[in-house]
Amino acid sequence: MISLFQRCSNLKIVSLRLRPLHYEDIEYRTALTDASLKALAVSCPMLHVVELTFAFCDPDWPTEIGFTQEGILTLIQSCPIRALLLNGASILYDEGMKCLSSSPLLEKLELVDCCSITDAGMNFIIQAPCLRSLTLRQCNKVTDNGMAELARSQKLESLTVIGCRRISLKGVRGAAKTVRYSAEFESLESLKAMNMNIK
């Protein structure tokens, strides 16, 4: 992958779906590491859409994801990222959301099954200067209090909340100009098959 990235300097969109594989002894992890992200950041300066889906990675075993939060943030801060989808990224915490909030061009953020993000993360991400669209799917530590932060900012054009059990319909009202809400949970298969429609 590093060799591939080094030959794709005009790459603008990357979508990776990763699942743990068996490595030494009893260790299972996804095949790519922060070294791949560093190569992507250095070699592809035009990258503006990133989708990272981690399938079947157990949140109780963060080492199953070969990337670290720092690796992902380095990529985001090194390239002109406008749209970011993180699916199953249990390694992204509120501290990471704080770093994401300093991304000068980030317009669209989609967090799917990111179980470590809380209301504090909402308070941070709403400070991203260009953020206009936010999607939360099955992010179960975010509550109506986090939605209140979004509503106070009056900044978002679009908010989608699906299957987040601690966010109510009442909580999302007024949090963006356009709001889509569903309390229904989605299957793991449909969540991990998602991608972002960015042109």
pTM for the model stands at 0.92
In the chain the first and final C-alpha atoms are separated, in Å, by 24
Q: What is the pLDDT of residues 92-151, one digit of tens each?
A: 999 999 999 999 999 999 999 999 999 999 999 999 999 999 999 999 999 999 999 999
| Distance (Å, whole) CA 26 – CA 45 | 37
